[in-house]
């Protein structure tokens, strides 16, 4: 399929790449940044927010930065897509789903002079950073709002899969609710999908039918909050501001804000100061942003704002010890006054008060 | 509204798109053509119906556009498998991939737009009957249409001459051709009907069920519809039963979770597929091949000259 000429050119490029790899990071005039998304840009959620970050880079460095993206990349087939970006002159590549971890590492080792950034993973390399956001901080706040506002005293949660990231979110949400309403009950439904609007909507309807009047979600489409709107109940937006889908129902949304981070990392490549790091930022780092508090009484709004400020200043940690497990026994506290990062990232238990069991 | 009513209502809405798409595919398959492109035609139906409904602010125009989109996709498929006698499995898979991609392109400007819910059609007096009243007489128009469609497809296939022709072509296209039956023409219309139904199912998803467009929102329902045809042993009445069983399995597992029954949700999510495998097994246990499967299903028709 390829002519000898093309092979020759490829080999030449490889030699060039190797010789360039020997040079240490230096300031650059122009940077090409690539993105790999797991879903479509139009999912209104996870991938959409990453793309907002990409657009922020273009705005921040006019004329200096070009960006490209590949959307809806299946995790199993991502290596090809990542390598394609590496081969086509990108200096910095963001891979934005947990499942891209191994392929990113593999391609990063092959192209040592290109910088890689992998979202929500834990494997690093001298040219591969990792980053994630503490969404559970936002979930603690919405938990408090839900705990204050519920009339049926039952709040609901549509989860994607019973994995640590989602479990930690449920616990943070419930701990928030419990902190203002000790007897509040929670019902949990796993949709077993990140993205299936109709099924997410059905999951939400099931919860609403069973008496839930506050709905949190950890799946990507606006269908659950839309179901809450249709029933005259309340909900919280996920990943992006979903107000336009549920103007009366959305109390606030936990917005993923990657823009600041992406701009900073691109700047580091431009300046030649990029280093392999692990970033886990929350409300403090502006990675987790609460959209305006609406449709709620002033006292609830005030409470939410105070909690947000406390989390931002570091005086409040949603997983502050002591934390009790479902059996009422205290969970060993491995961090300073709160559960350690590892404990949160690997969370596989529900806290006291949740009556459900984690599906095995 | 009691909880039972609420659950039944959700089941009906969850089942309707499956039922509509599966009825279309059933007619196509009964004529001897296997169209694996249901998912793609459905996605196109969803995207085009939503785009048209928002542009012209009319649900009716949206529905028409969705059906038209499905039909055009089916016409492309017909060109390949009838015009060029191309492999039906390959062409169908290609149609799915094309439809998913193209729908994303068409829907892109409409990402983020939303439609208001359409009002259910309330049949007076009858809808006041307890339990069954709300269930049967206060649904949206699509639900009634899907049930009427089931009856019509059943009558057409089993009670009309034209339906008999379609079935005999599906059973053995060589003999049918020798008898002078118009194999290509009948199959062409059967394929188009399948496309229109898939487009309608997509329109239902985008305009009634979720009321917004986002790429890939069909999320495998086209494949469930295909499984449903097999599950129903190619009989319209059983498609209706099957659609409601599949819909019920999806919705009940969500309710079981919310009620903390402690059933593994992953297992329950797989129920429709397990049911299909079981049905296939039972159907073929005595006959060697699945009873009800049209004899010429999936075989390209190339007449002797």
Greater pLDDT, B286 or B283: B283
Give the minimum alpha-carbon distance from A134 to chain B in angstroms, rounded to a whole number: 26
On whether the CB atoms of residues B48 and B198 are closer than 8 A, the answer is no
The half-sphere exposure of B133 on its side-chain side, counting CA atoms within 13 A, is: 12
Q: What is the pLDDT of residue A18?
A: 43
Per the prediction, chain A carries an average pLDDT of 90
Q: Determine the average pLDDT of the residues in A225-253.
A: 94
Q: Determine the average pLDDT of the residues in A136-155.
A: 97
Task: Give the nearest partner residue to B262 out of A156, A212, A357, using CB atoms.
Answer: A357
Q: Which residues of chain B neighbour A359 with C-beta distances below 8 Å?
A: 257, 264-266
Cite the beta strand spans of chain B per DSSP E: 121-122, 138-139
Q: Which CATH number fits domain A26-133+258-281: 3.40.50.2300, 3.40.50.850, 3.60.21.10, 1.10.340.30?
A: 3.40.50.2300
A9: Cβ contacts below 8 Å, ≥ 6 apart: none
Q: Determine the average pLDDT of the residues in A243-268.
A: 95
pLDDT per position as a tens digit, B93-110? 999 999 999 999 999 888
Tokens at A322, concatenated: 């002591």
Q: Do A210 and B255 touch (CB under 8 A)?
A: yes
Task: Give the nearest partner residue to A203 out of B17, B254, B260, using CB atoms.
Answer: B254
Mapping DSSP to helix (H, G, I), strand (E, B) and coil, where does residue A348 land? coil
Largest CA distance in chain B: 66
Alpha-carbon distance of B87 to B38, in angstroms, equals: 16
From residue B272, alpha-carbon distances to A207, B12, B15, B245, B284 in Å are 22, 16, 12, 8, 18
pLDDT at A304 over 80: yes
Q: Do B112 and A226 touch (CB under 8 A)?
A: no
On whether the CB atoms of residues A73 and A38 are closer than 8 A, the answer is yes
Task: Give the nearest partner residue to A245 out of B212, B219, B258, using CB atoms.
Answer: B212
Q: Which residues of chain A neighbour B255 with C-beta distances below 8 Å?
A: 206, 209-210
Alpha-carbon distance of A91 to A75, in angstroms, equals: 22
Q: Which residues of chain B neighbour A158 with C-beta distances below 8 Å?
A: none
From residue A143, alpha-carbon distances to A75, A155, A176, A318, B152 in Å are 32, 9, 4, 10, 51
Q: What is the pLDDT of residue B3?
A: 82
Alpha-carbon distance of A57 to A201, in angstroms, equals: 34
Q: Do A205 and B262 touch (CB under 8 A)?
A: no
Q: Do B117 and A212 touch (CB under 8 A)?
A: no
Instruction: Calculate what percentage of chain A has a pLDDT beyond 90.
Output: 77
Looking at chain A, the number of H-run helices and the number of E-run strands are 11, 12
pLDDT per position as a tens digit, B238-264? 999 999 988 888 888 888 888 888 777
Alpha-carbon distance of A116 to A127, in angstroms, equals: 6
> Could you tell me which chain A residue has the CA closest to the CA of B119?
A230
Least Cα distance to A144 among A333, A314, A296, A337 occurs for A296
Mapping DSSP to helix (H, G, I), strand (E, B) and coil, where does residue A253 land? strand
CATH 3.40.50.2300 domain residues, chain A: 26-133+258-281, 136-256+319-345
The per-residue DSSP string of A21-43 comes to: HHSPP---S-EEEEEE-SS-GGG
pLDDT per position as a tens digit, A15-28? 444 444 434 567 88
Question: C-alpha angle with apex B235: B229 to B237, nearest 5 degrees?
Answer: 105
> Could you tell me which chain B residue has the CA closest to the CA of A226?
B210
Alpha-carbon distance of A249 to A236, in angstroms, equals: 8
Show the DSSP H helices in chain A as ranges: 4-22, 46-60, 78-87, 101-110, 135-149, 164-180, 197-209, 223-230, 259-271, 298-313, 341-345
Total residues found in chain A within this entry: 360
The model's pTM is 0.84
Q: What is the pLDDT of residue B189?
A: 97
Which of B8-12, B36-40, B154-158, B282-286 comes out lowest in average pLDDT?
B282-286
Q: Decide yes or no: CATH 3.40.50.720 for domain A136-256+319-345.
A: no
pLDDT at B20 over 50: yes
Q: Which CATH number fits domain B3-284: 1.20.120, 1.10.3470, 3.30.160, 2.60.120?
A: 1.10.3470
Q: For the purposes of burial, counting CB atoms within 10 Å of the CB of A1, is it exposed (0-12), middle (13-18) or buried (19 or more)?
A: exposed
Q: What is the pLDDT of residue B287?
A: 59
Q: Do B117 and A230 touch (CB under 8 A)?
A: yes
pLDDT at B268 over 80: no
Which of A214-218, A272-276, A277-281, B275-279 comes out lowest in average pLDDT?
B275-279
Q: Which residues of chain A neighbour B210 with C-beta distances below 8 Å?
A: 197-198, 201, 221, 223, 226
Least Cα distance to B226 among B70, B96, B81 occurs for B96
Tokens at A231, concatenated: 């029933």
Mapping DSSP to helix (H, G, I), strand (E, B) and coil, where does residue B116 land? coil
A80: Cβ contacts below 8 Å, ≥ 6 apart: none
Torsions phi, psi for A92 (to 5 deg): -140, 125
Q: Do A226 and B111 touch (CB under 8 A)?
A: no
The alpha carbon of residue B56 and the mean position of all alpha carbons in its chain are separated, in whole angstroms, by: 26
Q: What is the pLDDT of residue A19?
A: 41
pLDDT per position as a tens digit, B146-197? 999 999 999 999 999 999 999 999 999 999 999 999 999 999 999 999 999 9
Task: Give the nearest partner residue to A198 out of B107, B108, B210, using CB atoms.
Answer: B210
Q: Which residues of chain A neighbour B5 with C-beta distances below 8 Å?
A: none
Neighbours of A269 (CB within 10 A): 20
pLDDT at B46 over 80: yes
Tokens at B23, concatenated: 């009825």
Tokens at A83, concatenated: 């390598």
Q: Which residues of chain A neighbour B114 with C-beta distances below 8 Å?
A: 226, 244-245
Query: Is the preceding omega at residue A297 within 30 degrees of 0, hence cis?
Result: no
* Domain residue limits, chain B: 3-284
Neighbours of A264 (CB within 10 A): 13
> Could you tell me which chain B residue has the CA closest to the CA of A198?
B210
Task: Give the nearest partner residue to B212 out of A203, A222, A360, using CB atoms.
Answer: A222
The half-sphere exposure of B183 on its side-chain side, counting CA atoms within 13 A, is: 26
Q: Do B112 and A244 touch (CB under 8 A)?
A: yes
The alpha carbon of residue A286 and the mean position of all alpha carbons in its chain are separated, in whole angstroms, by: 13
Alpha-carbon distance of A323 to A330, in angstroms, equals: 6
Torsion of CA A190, A204, A195, B277, to 10 degrees: 60
Q: Could you say which DSSP state residue B111 is in?
A: T
Alpha-carbon distance of A254 to A158, in angstroms, equals: 15
Greater pLDDT, B142 or A18: B142
> Could you tell me which chain B residue has the CA closest to the CA of A206?
B255
């Amino acid at each position: 399929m390829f002519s000898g000429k093309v092979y020759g050119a490829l080999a030449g490029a490889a030699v060039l790449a190797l010789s360039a790899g020997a040079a240490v990071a230096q300031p650059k005039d122009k940077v090409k940044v690539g993105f790999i998304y797991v879903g479509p840009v139009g999912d209104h959620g996870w991938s959409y927010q990453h793309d907002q970050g990409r657009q922020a880079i273009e705005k921040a460095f006019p004329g200096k930065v070009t960006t490209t993206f590949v959307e809806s990349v299946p995790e199993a087939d991502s290596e090809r897509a990542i390598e394609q970006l590496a081969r086509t002159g990108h200096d910095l590549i963001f891979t934005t789903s947990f499942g891209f971890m191994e392929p990113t590492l593999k391609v990063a080792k092959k192209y040592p002079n290109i910088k890689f950034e992998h979202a929500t993973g834990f494997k690093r390399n001298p040219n591969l950073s990792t980053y994630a956001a503490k969404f559970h901080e936002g979930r603690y706040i919405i938990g408090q709002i839900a705990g204050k506002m519920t009339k049926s005293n039952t709040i609901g949660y549509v989860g994607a899969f019973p994995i640590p990231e989602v479990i930690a979110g449920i616990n943070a949400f419930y701990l928030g609710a419990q902190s203002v309403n000790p007897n509040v009950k929670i019902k949990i439904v796993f949709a077993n999908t990140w993205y299936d609007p109709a099924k997410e909507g059905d999951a939400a309807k099931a919860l609403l039918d069973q008496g839930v009047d506050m709905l949190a979600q950890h799946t990507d489409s606006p269908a659950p909050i839309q179901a809450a709107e249709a029933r005259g109940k309340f909900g919280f937006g996920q990943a992006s501001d979903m107000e336009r889908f549920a103007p009366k129902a959305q109390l606030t949304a936990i917005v993923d804000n990657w823009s600041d981070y992406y701009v900073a990392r691109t700047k580091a490549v431009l300046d030649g100061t990029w280093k392999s790091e692990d970033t886990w930022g929350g409300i403090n780092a502006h990675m987790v942003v609460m959209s305006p508090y609406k449709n709620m009484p002033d006292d609830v709004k005030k409470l939410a704002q105070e909690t947000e400020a406390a989390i931002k200043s570091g005086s409040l940690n949603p997983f502050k010890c002591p934390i009790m497990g479902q059996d009422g026994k205290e969970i060993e506290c491995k961090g300073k006054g709160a559960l350690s990062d590892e404990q949160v990232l690997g969370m596989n238990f529900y806290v006291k008060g949740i009556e459900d069991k984690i599906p095995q | 509204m009691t909880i039972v009513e609420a659950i039944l209502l959700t089941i009906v809405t969850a089942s309707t798109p499956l039922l509509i798409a599966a009825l279309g595919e059933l007619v196509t398959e009964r004529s001897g053509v296997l169209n694996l492109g249901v998912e793609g035609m459905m996605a196109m139906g969803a995207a085009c119906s939503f785009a048209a409904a928002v542009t012209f602010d009319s649900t009716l125009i949206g529905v028409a556009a969705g059906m038209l989109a499905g039909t055009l996709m089916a016409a492309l498929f017909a060109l390949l498998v009838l015009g060029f006698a191309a492999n039906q499995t390959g062409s169908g898979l290609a149609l799915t991939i094309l439809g998913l991609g193209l729908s994303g392109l068409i829907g892109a400007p409409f990402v983020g737009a939303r439609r208001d819910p359409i009002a259910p059609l309330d049949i007076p007096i009858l809808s006041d009957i307890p339990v069954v009243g709300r269930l049967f007489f206060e649904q949206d128009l699509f639900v009634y249409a899907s049930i009427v469609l089931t009856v019509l497809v059943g009558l057409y296939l089993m009670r009309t001459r034209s339906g008999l022709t379609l079935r005999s072509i599906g059973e053995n296209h060589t003999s049918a051709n020798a008898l002078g039956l118009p194999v290509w023409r009948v199959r062409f219309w059967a394929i188009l009907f399948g496309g229109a139904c898939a487009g309608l199912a997509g329109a239902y998803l985008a305009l009634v069920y979720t009321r917004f467009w986002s790429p890939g929102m069909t999320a495998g329902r086209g494949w469930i519809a295909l499984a449903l045809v097999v599950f129903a042993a190619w009989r319209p009445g059983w498609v209706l039963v099957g659609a409601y069983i599949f819909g019920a399995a999806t919705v009940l597992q969500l309710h079981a979770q919310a009620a903390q029954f402690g059933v593994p949700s992953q297992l329950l999510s797989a129920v429709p597929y397990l049911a299909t495998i079981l049905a296939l097994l039972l159907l073929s246990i005595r006959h060697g091949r699945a009873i009800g499967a049209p004899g010429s299903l999936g075989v390209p028709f190339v007449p002797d000259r």
